[in-house]
Structure formats: C-alpha cells, structure tokens
Structure 1
Amino acid sequence: MFVMIVGLVFCVMMILRKGRIPGTAIGPSRRILGIVFASLLLMQFTPTKWTHHFGVYAGLAATVAVLAAVGVSASSMRSKRNRALFAAGILFILAVAFTSSNGWWYVSSYGVPWWDKPPSIAGKGFSTGFLGLTILALLLAAWYHVMEPRERNGTEDSVKKTRRLRLLAPSPLTIAAGAVVLFEVLSLLKGAVAQYPAYSIGKSNIESVFGGSCGLAGEVLVESDPNTGVLQLVDRPTDLAGAGAFGASESTGFSPDGVAGDLTADAEDSTAGSANSLDTTTSQSGTTSTPGTGSGTAGGSQSTSGVNGSNVALPFGLDPAKTPVLGSYGAPQNASLTTGWYSLPERNDAAPLLTVAAAGRIRYVNSDGIVTPGAVLQVEYGKKQADGSVDALGRVDPIDIGPSPSWRNLRVPMDQLPADADTVRLVASDTDISADQWLAVTPPRVPTMRTLQDVVGSTDPVLMDWAVGLAFPCQRPVDHLYGVAEIPEWRILPDRIGAESTNAWQDHYGGGPLGWTSELLSARALPTYLDNDWDRDWGSLEQYTPLDPDAVPAQMNVTTETRSGTWTPGPIRYQS
C-alpha cells in the first residue's frame, strides 16, 4: 500500500508538471491512475476488514509501480537530485516495512527466518540499515542540488558520459522491488532447507508439482487408539491401588485424584501468524494473549473409579479401566514420584515417539532457550540385566508444547534414546506447594501411528476450519445442499492461536456450524504430531461421535418453483 500511494503521488505530480510520464502514453496512464483513485474512494464504503480487501490492489499497485519505475528512470527523470530524493523515499518505506516481522500465514512460516521478530543480523536490524541509507540518499540529493548546475556547464565529453550513465541507471523502485522479492524467495528457501525432512510450504509445493502431495495431511501423525500403545511394567504389580498401578518405588504427595477440576488453558502470547485476535488485552511486548483448550482436555471427573481408584476424566480416549493416573494437586508438602520400569517395544519407523499424557505446569526449555517454569518431569531410560534388575543409563526432558495446565501429550523422539535402552520410567518432582503448581501423569506410551491422510481419508466429511483449508487439499469438506449441512465425522483445527479465531467465527453466536455440531455430536481430540517437527503446534484433529447413535440424516423433498424478480414471501417476523 505504501509503495502504491507513493507511486500514485509521484505519477500524478509528473503528469501535472510534464503533461505525461515520459516513455508512456497519456491515455492509458490517466485511466490507470483514475481506476486506482476510484478504488480508494469506493473502499471507504466497505464496512469491515479493509486489510482483507487490499488484495484487490495487487494488480492495481503493480501497474502504478510500472508507471512510477518508468517515470523515475534516468532516461525520463534527468535530475539526479530528484532521483536521489525518490530513492530516499523508497528506502524509507523499506525501513518502515522491515520494522515488522517476516511473518507468513500459518504453516507458511515454518522454518522461515525472523518469522516472529524484525529481520536483523548480529543484533542490527535491517530497518536501521535502510534508515541509514535513507539519510545518505538525502545527503546525496543535497550534493546533487549544489553540483548539478556545474555539470550542465561541463565539456561535451562529460555531457555525453552523463547521458550514457543516465540510460544505464535503473529505477530505485525496480531495485527495491527486486530485492524484496529476492528476500522473500530466499526466506522460503531457507525455511524449506531448515525444516527438511519435516513439512514446509516449499517441500509441499515441490511434491505437488509431481502429483504426490496431500499437504499437511501426509505429514501429521495420528494415534488412532492411544490405549494400544501403553507400555507394560517389567514387574507387574498385584496391588493396583494408587501408585501401585505405576509400580512406583517412590511416591510422596501423588494421589489418584490429584488433578485440578478445571484445566482450562492459560492465556498465551501470539506474535505472528494469527488471523484475528479475540482478546483485546495486549501485553507490554505488543503481543496478544489468547487461551486455547482442546476437546476433552479441560479436565473433569467421572462417576466410576478407574483402575487405580481415580475418578479423573482422562483425555484422548484413554480407557480409565486400563490407564491409571497420579497427580500432585492439593498435596500439602513437596511431592515426588518414581514409577516402575516399563519395557520398550522393538524400534520401528511407525512408532517414532515415546509419549506421556500429562497435565499441570511442567518445566520445559524450548529450542529457543525460553524456560517455562513448573514441576520437573523426566523420562529415565535404562537397560535390563541378566538378574532382572535395571541399570539406569540417563534421563531426558520430554518435549512439552502446551498448553498448561490442560491435558497434552509430552513426547520424546525414540532416536534420542540409546539403541541399547530397553526400559523407561517417569521421575517427577513438585517442590512448589502453590495451588496452581502441580502435575499429573499417566503411563508412557509408544504408539504405532498413521498419517492423518490414512486415518481421515478423502471421502469422510470433514469440518475444516477456514484457516486450514489450503493446507489439507485431499480432505473433503462437509457439503451444504439445499440449505442443509452434512454431518461431519472429523474436524481439523489450526494451532491454538489460530483456533481461537476460527472458533469465534464458527460458534453459535455468529450462526456458525459449531452451534449445531455441539447439539448433535461429541468431540474427542486425538493425539497428533507433526512428523520430524516434534515441538511444533501444527493444530489438532477431532473425531465426532453422534450423541444419538440411532439418529439418521434428514430426508429432503425438493420442489422447483419459478418466481419473478419482484416476488416477496412477506416481511420478516421479528421476535422481541
């Protein structure tokens, strides 16, 4: 928009001064500028989302940029001073543009440098460099203002040399546009290289050229049934009550019902990649806070007791009759837990992760070195000996992508465990007795996973949030026929920040599909992971189950009637 407006002002000024833009026909130039002015005038009648409608200027701005580039070229604008002033304006626009992050929409930002902050090298921002060049261009313009009259009085050879240089000098706008395009292409190329073999928009596009890509659906791994991957204890306990179901060698402060009743996710900060912010509260850093809780992960209780006497409602379809749970919520003293050793299965490519369903606030240091405070939970690995004992070989911190304190799946890539490790156990420590500082765990799992494309397929009706549509080209969206919506079997959501926006757009307040799906269906979040990008919150997959299994789709009787353009069924009835 900045470039278009600058180019528009420049072109108008040149036409007013010279009658036309040198090198162009006056008729088409006037029509182009008139169309742009008219579009700016008509845009004011658009009630909302101007930024969404700015896409119409993609073509218009390009034509204005071409006119401006021709007009400011050395062959059209002979004054070096004026060209230097125009270059200063372009450099200033670049300085303003590079004060923002190199942000791309949703999955397009994966691996892209500076996706969450302004571009910089060694702590020096690109915007600072462009601002410095702006000042130099202004000083150069001042120099030309003084020196150009002397050049006009020079020898014939110097005048010819000046003319040759003028013909070869490119437009500052052309150079700037080319540099920005090159920066964008290199950013996405770097993202593809940095992400490989994980998903990136570049990798997906290349695969699409050869007809072999289903986008993100082929990269997201899904646990269809988490119960099948639960590990078994080396020494099977006979007493399954409390910590006994974990074969715990140490348990202090952990209890079967030690889980808070409300596990609604804490608000998180978003810096880039989100569509709209729902919470208008903005932190001092300029980021927007939004919460995000997946279906079935917000806590609760059940009437029947589980295998170790717990009444906690488990997430992700875990069976409480087979899956025990322990938590430190409400413990009056420091809590600690060391479970028994669990046997690891044979390594295979279909089971690349060791996962643990956990809740509460757990300490984690992410790949950028940012520390999330909380209780300590580690996975200790070991090797069984001939006498049946286990030698501990080391510990690893599981990856935790949040959100706290909701139920989520911590994960440890199997390639981080030594090849000779054949057992694991959980070691937890909660030394903060504050009411909101606690953790809860279930036994570790090594699930066999399939891709989302294999699980969902291309025929099942899917309620795809609008933010994810382009990333899942092989899934079939729900049909709407004669004003009646098809019942979805799945829902695909974007990452938590994006889901806050799509939830608001689709909820019952706005007449969206989430208004009637909640009346007909129950949703369960399935454990999902982005292949080879284990600490990425790609989004989530929910499976719908009818509340009434015997319900059948509505049968429609369709008739066709022809009406005139002036026909009306009558006034709309308003109910106060």
Structure 2
Amino acid sequence: MSSTASSEDSETRSTSTAPRGRWHNARVLAAVLGFLGAGLALISGLLPVNQNNAEINWAPGEDFTSVTAPLVSGRAIDLDINIPCDAAAEADEDTVLLSTLPESSPGRSADGLMVVRGRNADGESSLEVIVRNLTLVSVPVDALRSEACDTIHISATPDGVVGDAGEATFTSGESAGEPITGSFGGDMRPQVVGLFTDLSPSTAPEGLSGMTAHVTVDSRYSSSPTFIKLLAMIVGVAATIGSLYYLRQLDLKDGRHHVRIMPRQRRGITTLDGIVAGVLGIWHLVGANTSDDGYLLTMARSAGPSGYMANYFRWLGSPESPVGWYYEILKLMTHVSTASVWMRLPTLLCGLATWWILTREVIPRLGRLARTWPVPEWAGAAVFLAFWMAFNNGLRPEPVIALGALVTFILIERSIATRRLLPAYLAVVVAAFSIGTGPTALICVAILLAGTRIVFKTMRERAATFGWAPVLGPFFAAGFLLLFTVFADQTLASVATASRIRTELGPSLPWYGEKERWVSLFSVGEDGGMSRRFPMLLMLLSVGIVALALLRHRRIPEVAAGPARRLVGIVLGSLGMLAFTPTKWTHHFGIFAGIGAAVAVAAVLSLRPKVVGGPRNAWLVGAAISAVTALATATDNVWWYVSNYGMPFGESFPAIGGVQINYLAFGVTLICLLMALLTHTEILPPRESWPAWMRPTGRPSWVRLPGFAHRIAAWFGVVVPEGSAGKQDAETDETADTTGKPAEKKALERSHPRRMGMPATAFTAIAFLLVATNLASALVAVFDRSPGYTVGRSNARALVGNPCSLADAVLVEENSNDGVLQPVGTSVANSLGAGERTGFAPNGIPEQIPVDTTESDSSSTLGGFEADATGDPGVDAGTTGGQGEETINGSTASLPFDLDPAETPVLGSYRRGPQSQARLQSGWYELPGRTPLRPLLVVAAAGWISAGDLEVQYGRAGKVGTEGPTNFEVEGSLPLIDVGPAPTWRNLRVPLESIPDDAEVVRIVARDNNLAPDWWMAVTPPRNPTLRTLQDIVGSETPVLADWIVALAFPCQRPFVHNDGIAEIPRYRILADRESSTMANWWQSAKAGGPLLWIEQTTKPVTIPTYLNHDWGRDWGSLQRLDPLDPEAVPAQIDRSQSLRSGLWSPGEMVG
C-alpha cells in the first residue's frame, strides 16, 4: 500500500454520540465571539482617531524674515493671504511681496503663488497675483490707493482659488465699475515650501509688515487611535481568539481528544540542518542584499519622528497601510542599531524557521519515502538555498511571506488530515497576516484555494451538526483579524486616499503586464542575473516533472498524491495570481523559497527510474536539466549595487577556460536530445541487450570503487548499496539478461525503490553547484578585494563596532581648490598652455554639454513600468556646463565641483565649423610631498576621452639653474582613470603610489585627433586634494537624503524626517552610480510625489568630488551638497493641535 501524506491520515475518525446539548455553550460562544470580532475588525477603519493638526500663521514682522516649511503633500489644505492695499501700492516695482516658492526655484511661477508689484499686460503699474503661471487678479495702483481697497485677499482651497481687492472696482476700460476679483475653479492650489518675500526693512513701505498668510498643512496621515478605538481593537482581538478556542471545542466532537493542532516532532538535528544553517549564516555576513533594503531601512528609521510608517520616497508620504505591519518590527530594531548585519536578523530567523518547517512538516507529508530517504531532502535544501541567497537576504517581506506560505500549507494539510477546522482557520489567519506584509502573499490565497474543496466539506459537516453560525463566525473573525493592524493608527478615508495615490502615480500595471516581470528575469542585469534565473527555472522544471509524472501515473509511486497535486496547483496558481500585483519586480519570486523547495523534493522523487520509465525519458529529462542550465547561465553573475563589487563574472557571462558555460550546457542539451531520438527510434539498442559491464545498475565488475566512494554513490542511488547486493543479485540475477521477463524487471525495481538514476543526480548536483557558486563568489569577493569595500567586509567591521559601511570607504574632497598643484616657471593663468597648445582654447567648451543617454539604460523597465526616458539621466549636478564667472585665463565656461574661477584655468578643443586635430602639453606642476591624506592626482576633465588621449607625464629635474630647475626630464607617463560619464565634467584620477618616489613634477598631455564635430575634450590643472571619509564630512547628525538604492550602505547618516506633513530640508544627498541614480531620480521625482518635489524647489545641488578607497576606478555614486536657495530663510513656526476625526473624515483630495 502506498504511503500517505502523514501518520494522521490513517487515524480512525469516530463520531461522538453525546447529546447535542452538550456542545450548546461552545456553539453559541464560537458564533457570538466570532461575529463580534469580525464586526469590530470591519468597523475599525470607521472608529474615531486623534488627528494632529499643523498650521502656519506668518507675518513678516519688522525684519521681513522668510520662512521654510516644505509640505510633503506639495499643496496645503487651504491657503489664505491678506495684504494691505495702501502699503502694497507704495512697494517698488518688480518686487515679490509674497511667494510660496523661493527665488531661483525652478517652479516659482509654474507651481507656486506669487504676489508681485509690477505691471499688467497693458503696461500699467499694478499688483499681480499669479497662481501656477496664470494671473488670478491684477489690481491697478490707482485701485490700490482707493478707499474701497482695504486688503488684497487670496484664498486657495481644493474647490478653487479666489482673489479680490475688497470693494474696489475697475475705473476704466471695458470692466469699469466691476469689482476687482478673480477666481479659478477646480483644484489650483499652489505648491508650498514656505513663505518668501523680497522685501527687507530698508525697502519695505510702511504698513507691509501687516500682511499675513495662513497655511493649513495636510497632515491627514498623522493620527493616533482614541481610547474607544484601542478598546474596540483589544476586544476584537480577544473575541477572535475566544471564537477560535470554542471552535476547537467543537472540533473535539469527533471524540479524538489526543489529536494535536500540529503533530509531535521526534526528529533531531541532522548534518543537513547544520549545512543549511551554516550556509544561511555565512550568506548573512557575506552575501548580496536586495534592492529595496535601503528603502525599507529609511522608512523604518523615519517612522518614529513621522508618527506613522510613511512611504518615504514616493506617493506624497502616504502610509504603507493596508500592508506593512512587518515594517513596524524593523522600526523597533532601529532603536538598537541600523547596521545591515543587525537589521537583517529577522530574515535569517525566517530562513531557519522556513527550513525547519520544510523538513519537519512539509517534506514528511509527501510520503514515507520522502521521510526516510535523505536524497530528495538534499535536493530541496539546494533549491531552498538557491532561492534564499538570490532573493531573500535583505529587508524585503518576501522571507516572511515564504515562511507564511509554508505555515499556511502545513495548517491546511493538517486540517485535511485530521478533518478539523481550527488548523484551517489558523491558516486563514496566517495567510491574512502574510498578505499584510505585501501583495505577493497572494501565494497564500492559492494555498487556501488548493485545500478549499476538502476543508469546505468539513465545514458542511460541522454546520450539519452545529449550524452555520458557529462555523462562519470564527472564519470571518480569522479572515478580518488583519484589519486591526491595517487601521491601527489610520482611518478608512486615509487608507483609501493612499491607495488611490499609488494607483494614480504608479507603477500600477494591469494583469496583462505580467510579461514584464519575465522580460526582466530574462534580461541581462540585476533583475535577470544568473542567481535569480536558476532557482526559478529549477522550480518550473520541478513543476513540469511532477505534473507529467502525475499525468502519466495518476499518482507517483510511494509519494502521497494529495500533497503532490496541491503543490503543483499552488505554484501554478501563485504564478497566475502574481499577475494581479501592481508591480512586476523579479524580487517577488522570493516567495517561492519554501514551496519551490518542496516541489523540488517531489520532482526528485518523480525522477526515480521506476517513475521516469525508459532511457528515452531519462535522456529527455537530462536535456531539460541542461537546457535550464544553459538559460540560467546566459547572463552575468550580477548582484545588486555594492553587492556586485568583486563578484566573479559580475559583468560577463560565466565561463570555463574562456568558453561560456551556456554554450557547454546547450551542447549537452543537444547530445541528450540526440540520445533520446536514437533510443526512441531504437537505433540505439535497449539497455537490456547491453553487455553486462555496460549496465548502469549494480556494481560493475570492472569498477572497484573505494568503500567510502561506493557508499556515497549508493546513497545517491547511482549504484546499488553493498549491503543489499548479495541478496538482491541472488534473487534477480542482476547480471542475467532480463529481456522479456517483466516479473524479474519489476522485482528489480521493487528491490531498489531508492535508486535516483542520473536525471535526479544531475538535478541535485546542478542545484548544489549553484549554491556553491553563489557562496564561493561572495567569499572570493571579500578576500580578493581586501582591503577594498565589499558587503562581507562591511558586515565584519560592523560586528567589531564599525557600522558605518560605505561611509567609511568613500573619500571626499574637503575643498576642491585646496591641493591644486603649483606651476613651475609660469603663472597659474598660463600654466595649462605653457608647453604646446594647438587647437585648445579657453572657450573651447560647448555652452551646454549634451548628456549621452546611451551610457545609461534610461528606458529600462522598473517592475514593468517604463521610466520616463526624458527624465533626469542621472548626471552629477553642475557637470553639464553652462556659462559662469570668467576664469583666470579668460574662459566664460562654468566650472564644476566648486572650482574657483579666479584660480582655475581651463582649456578645451571644441570648435564650430571646420575641424582639425588638437594637442595640448601643459607646463610642469610641482608634486607635493606624499601623505596618506592625499593619495590621488586628480584632473577635472570633460568631453570624449579615449584610451591614450589624456595622460600625465612625470619627471624630475634635468638641468638646474641658480633659481631652481629650468628643464625637466620625462621619466614616464600614466593614463588617467576615467569612471565617466562622458562627456560631462568628471574627475579623472591616478593614485600617487603609481608615480615613482623620485618624480618631482607632472604635466598633462592631451590629444584630440578625432575630427567628428561633437568630439572634443577640456581639462583643468591637476590637483592633489586632501581626502576625508564621507562619515567625517557628513557625520551622523546632519539631515541627509540618501537615495533608496544606497541607504542600506550608509546606516550612520541621518535621514531627513517629516512630521505632521512638514519636511526637514536635507543638507546633503547621496546618490548611487549613474545608471542606478537615473532610476532613483525617476522614482523619487516630483511627478511621483517623491522628496525631490520640494528638495528641488528649496535647494541647489553642488557635486562634491568623491572616490572609493582602494578601488579608484569604481563609480560608486556621488555626494551632493544641497545649498538653500534662500539662505536667509528660517524654519517656520508651526502651530500644532489635535482634533477628533471620524474614520470617514477627509480634508479633500490630495493632489497626485
């Protein structure tokens, strides 16, 4: 008889004959408490909350001070401005009396509100009120001076914007006698980042100090539960727990009081447990992280000051509800440390728990053979580790969902095995809370659906005995329990608004956009790296193998049919349900870590020779395995951001001896297919007719494996275990020809039920080879790049008290003008052209340096959502040229990196019209003494620079005169390291340790031999700057915008915070490399409701030169100093209060 899913499947189910009245109390309490818990959960979003209010009441006072108050929502709930008419009439023309955006902000007129003393369209002196590039009202000066005009009043609300001049009327023209007023219907509220004025005590007319402005900040998400709401939630949770308790009492109606919710475990710790735990532990220290780790870390760090878990980088500060309870755990952990190795501990614990449940609960349910034969479990371990290493080593919720999916599965299986409802209802609770961590937990819905038929049958049986109320009450209470976390501090209205904004601003793709996820998986890049493709392809292959085995045999011999069928259905159903998630990222595949491993176990059990069948099928399986290997290796071994530093084949396809592995695997695929064809057509004779020494079963007489090797081979099922050889051979005459003797062949199959055969061996070996490759790659990166930065080295430093990660490895120029080399024998102004100069001129630079978008994949899909190709291409601020102050050698080109025009000459080869070759040889510059704080020689350059086009020559004195060297001998030359991006300004560098110690001087040699009109270069003098770590420069107290891509690598930098809808203005911004920062700029943009919405309106970015220590050629990213556009403005005084609001209260639509 075949094995069952678990020992409980065979338990005898008895029916109690006790009178029905005995269960009356349990039945009533289960129903009442269940519906009470469900009802309280449903109304939790409607219950009142304490709403934080924030208002700004501004008057310029006698000093006319501007104030800053960047609104996270962009627009205020309402804005009310009053300006005295008579005082406004006396203001100087072209004076901004009041605006909501500072001078020089890019959207001052287009996005903000301005009250300007100027002239109207007819050229008459007037007061103009401009809202988002449209004139709301124009008040002539004579009307301002009339007695009818007391105050200019402007009001902006979600319903419209109105402005008037009191009772004043037009005195001339077609509108003579009509009131001076204007209005815009609809939501035309201006963006508010503060209240600014051009007035000063010396220029302001008397009386203008009396103008006022009132701003009601949109702080709808800053709320806390009232006592009534807290009490309702506590009662609701208690009622739900009580209903489930009394449901258990009803389950005991079957008389089997000894049945546990989960069976008792008797298995101890095994070698494989140690291996899996060891790999997870090592990978936790040295392994790659996931893309959103910095995103979630910043959300968790800012949640405390903000008062709620806001989506920090997008969607106008909307809360994470209805998902995100898991992030509250991360918030608590940030109070201990923000180091990656600490913050990712929940992930490690989830991995260990997932493995424990997989081996103790899930795999045993596949039957006796799965419980007793270790080989399938090893295959499952390999697939599990492959998934976990690729997808689940970060802060994202996929590890929690993967664990939740397994728990849901075993609870459903337990319910099916015991015919009890409590495990099924607990599965509903687990599934609900898994969905509460992220929408990809729809995998849990697929698990519930897979067991619905049998569970619903049990529900009908209980309802026939006790009625539907005690059955449905706990069910609804269990399903709605999650709502208490969703609406813990939010309301139905606020959550609905947040969901609407997410949908409107995107990314929110329809179900048929699911193809984008798979396009990303099979692209070359972080989303489609070898480590991500392999586990997914192995899982899909496993599903195919198990499904075909079930179709062929109806049930796989010695494998529990029910769990096997449900596993296949769960995977297929989950892949379908992923189509309904709004984003299409490949990191969502991490949810399959546990379920995918379980399917792999079933696949290995299906690959035994007795299941696969003849050699033809075995060759076809081998072809499928090698094809999966070819597809998985047809990409780079690339990992996310800094995790890729030092990884072998991180920027190329994996290869052996110069031959790409995907070609080798593809060749094996063709060979296997050829062998399958030869076998099918019987060109290759059947195995039974082979000579005895060629048989793949048993121990060939010509092979004498050592005892240990033979035991390993027997354990994998490649050869027959020695202990059974004598008896089995005697019974079946293994060396005899069994052709035409089916009984003997079946006896042979029965005698060796654990023989894997080569397909199963290949499957397991390939999976473990991937795990070994991942682990070896990370370890090689740590040791090969030392002392350079790697994730593993950073985590090791954190364990010994140095948690600042990349901030300790990035070196920053404290002052770009400090360290400029001094010329020898010539002036600073003439030094660049003191040698040879042909075709280079001070103004040989384009007025605007075009950005080469081909170097950045600006059209890449982000979760299936196209980034705006016309958006910011991710170049460093201030590096695209323009016009600036005249330099010391007469150039009007704008210099980058805060270089002082009064001390910095510049020469370039750009010219219009006929082109000619250009050459530059600068004068000699004196090398300073060597010091660890000045390890680099740096040249700021722009344009197109090919190998050999720009180099530094070093030399020493060749002829010495009375006043020092008058001639120098060239000792050698070095190319400058160019990390790009071309053709913008960037810092080319060469480490001073590459220049001999006896070198005294250096000079620049540049060649532009390309005659293409857009091919040019420009250079500035070399410098030897003092470098300090980013941690030393930025520190841990200064507010910083660390882009979500880089934030995990900068745990010591303090993210700016926002509170009650008002944000703090950061002083620095940390960006990733150019391609990644393009993606970050799009994600965090004003159009997306990100922090750049107001940062770009309040600050001017200045790029500070930076370098990655011991990895001088690496484009790690960049550091920007954010200089305020109005340095004199001070933070606004905020008037705070609280109001009692219902769950349906809304101050109006939040502009998206």
The structure 2 residue matched to 1:234, chosen from 796, 799, 824, is 824
Aligned match of 1:223: 813
TM-score by length of 2: 0.45
Task: Write the deviation string for residues 514-539 of structure 1: whole angstroms up to 9, x where unpaired.
Answer: 22111100101111111122121111
Aligned match of 1:496: 1074
Amino acid at match of 2:923: G
Residue 294 (structure 1) aligned with residue 294 (structure 2): no
The structure 2 residue matched to 1:9, chosen from 531, 541, 544, is 544
- Aligned to 1:509, the other structure's residue is in SS state coil
Residue 330 (structure 1) aligned with residue 911 (structure 2): yes
- Aligned to 1:321, the other structure's residue is in SS state coil
TM superposition shift of 1:74 = 5.5
Task: Write the deviation string for residues 20-45 of structure 1: whole angstroms up to 9, x where unpaired.
Answer: 54555445445444433432232222
Moved more, 319-328 or 182-191: 182-191
TM superposition shift of 1:300 = 1.0
- Aligned to 1:354, the other structure's residue is in SS state strand
TM superposition shift of 1:499 = 1.3
Amino acid at match of 1:378: E
TM superposition shift of 1:82 = 4.2
Moved more, 308-317 or 473-482: 473-482
- Aligned to 2:580, the other structure's residue is in SS state coil
Amino acid at match of 2:840: F
Aligned match of 1:197: 787
Moved more, 378-387 or 401-410: 378-387
Relative distance call for 1:433 and 1:555 in structure 2 (3 A) is same
The structure 2 residue matched to 1:341, chosen from 912, 921, 924, is 924
Aligned match of 1:284: none
Relative distance call for 1:166 and 1:425 in structure 2 (3 A) is same
The structure 2 residue matched to 1:350, chosen from 933, 953, 965, is 933
Determine the C-alpha separation between the residues in 1 that align with 2:567 and 2:579. 19
TM superposition shift of 1:307 = 2.0
Residue 89 (structure 1) aligned with residue 604 (structure 2): no
Q: Is the 8 A contact 2:883 2:893 kept in 1?
A: yes
Residue 512 (structure 1) aligned with residue 1090 (structure 2): yes
1:181-330 equivalences in 2 (<5 Å): 181-237=771-827, 244-246=830-832, 248-269=834-855, 276=862, 278=867, 291-302=873-884, 304-330=885-911
Question: Which consecutive residues of structure 2, in runs of 5 or more, have no partner in the other structure?
Answer: 1-535, 690-694, 698-728, 735-744
Determine the C-alpha separation between the residues in 2 that align with 1:85 and 1:490. 58
> Percent identical across equivalent pairs?
44
Task: Write the deviation string for residues 243-270 of structure 1: whole angstroms up to 9, x where unpaired.
Answer: x254713333332222211113323346
TM-score by length of 1: 0.85
Residue 378 (structure 1) aligned with residue 923 (structure 2): no
Q: Is the 8 A contact 1:268 1:291 kept in 2?
A: no
Determine the C-alpha separation between the residues in 2 that align with 1:209 and 1:492. 24
Aligned match of 1:529: 1107
Amino acid at match of 1:156: T
TM superposition shift of 1:402 = 1.8
Relative distance call for 1:269 and 1:39 in structure 2 (3 A) is same
Relative distance call for 1:323 and 1:73 in structure 2 (3 A) is same
The answer to which structure, 1 or 2, has the higher relative contact order (CA under 8 A, 6+ apart) is 2
- Aligned to 1:424, the other structure's residue is in SS state strand
TM superposition shift of 1:156 = 1.4
TM superposition shift of 1:178 = 0.4
Determine the C-alpha separation between the residues in 1 that align with 2:575 and 2:617. 27
Q: Is the 8 A contact 2:856 2:873 kept in 1?
A: no
Determine the C-alpha separation between the residues in 2 that align with 1:211 and 1:27. 52
Residue 100 (structure 1) aligned with residue 682 (structure 2): no
Q: Is the 8 A contact 2:855 2:981 kept in 1?
A: no
Amino acid at match of 1:147: P
Q: Is the 8 A contact 1:11 1:68 kept in 2?
A: yes
Q: Is the 8 A contact 2:957 2:969 kept in 1?
A: yes
Question: Which consecutive residues of structure 1, in runs of 5 or more, have no partner in the other structure?
Answer: 282-288, 366-375
- Aligned to 1:91, the other structure's residue is in SS state helix
Moved more, 401-410 or 382-391: 382-391
Aligned match of 2:1062: 484
Task: Write the deviation string for residues 283-303 of structure 1: whole angstroms up to 9, x where unpaired.
Answer: xxxxxx99542101110112x
Aligned match of 2:1053: 475
Amino acid at match of 2:1031: Q
Residue 362 (structure 1) aligned with residue 945 (structure 2): yes
Moved more, 412-421 or 257-266: 257-266
Aligned match of 2:146: none
The structure 2 residue matched to 1:178, chosen from 763, 768, 775, is 768
Relative distance call for 1:210 and 1:328 in structure 2 (3 A) is same
TM superposition shift of 1:89 = 1.6
Q: Is the 8 A contact 2:833 2:920 kept in 1?
A: no
Task: Write the deviation string for residues 123-143 of structure 1: whole angstroms up to 9, x where unpaired.
Answer: 422112212222344455567
TM superposition shift of 1:188 = 2.7
Determine the C-alpha separation between the residues in 1 that align with 2:764 and 2:1132. 59
Determine the C-alpha separation between the residues in 2 that align with 1:47 and 1:234. 64
Amino acid at match of 1:196: S
Task: Write the deviation string for residues 489-512 of structure 1: whole angstroms up to 9, x where unpaired.
Answer: 111111111111111111222222
Q: Is the 8 A contact 1:269 1:290 kept in 2?
A: no
Amino acid at match of 1:94: T
TM superposition shift of 1:379 = 1.0
- Aligned to 2:1083, the other structure's residue is in SS state helix
Amino acid at match of 1:300: G
TM superposition shift of 1:317 = 0.7
- Aligned to 2:769, the other structure's residue is in SS state helix
Moved more, 244-253 or 53-62: 244-253
Q: Is the 8 A contact 1:74 1:166 kept in 2?
A: no
Determine the C-alpha separation between the residues in 1 that align with 2:1090 and 2:820. 38
1:546-557 equivalences in 2 (<5 Å): 546-557=1124-1135
TM superposition shift of 1:333 = 4.7
1:60-139 equivalences in 2 (<5 Å): 60-73=595-608, 82-138=617-673
Amino acid at match of 2:908: G
Relative distance call for 1:93 and 1:545 in structure 2 (3 A) is same
- Aligned to 1:86, the other structure's residue is in SS state helix
Relative distance call for 1:572 and 1:324 in structure 2 (3 A) is same
Q: More helix by proportion, 1 or 2?
A: 2
Task: Write the deviation string for residues 462-514 of structure 1: whole angstroms up to 9, x where unpaired.
Answer: 21222212222322222232333221111111111111111111122222222
Determine the C-alpha separation between the residues in 2 that align with 1:80 and 1:543. 68
Aligned match of 2:1005: 427
TM superposition shift of 1:144 = 7.2
Q: Is the 8 A contact 1:233 1:343 kept in 2?
A: yes
Determine the C-alpha separation between the residues in 2 that align with 1:550 and 1:380. 47
Amino acid at match of 1:261: E
Q: Is the 8 A contact 2:831 2:923 kept in 1?
A: no
Q: What do you get for the CA RMSD once the two structures are aligned?
A: 3.4
Q: Is the 8 A contact 2:787 2:1110 kept in 1?
A: yes
TM superposition shift of 1:384 = 2.8
- Aligned to 1:393, the other structure's residue is in SS state strand
Determine the C-alpha separation between the residues in 1 that align with 2:821 and 2:1072. 30
TM superposition shift of 1:76 = 6.7
Amino acid at match of 2:647: V
The structure 2 residue matched to 1:450, chosen from 1028, 1033, 1048, is 1028
Q: Is the 8 A contact 2:857 2:1075 kept in 1?
A: no
Relative distance call for 1:364 and 1:63 in structure 2 (3 A) is same
Aligned match of 1:156: 732
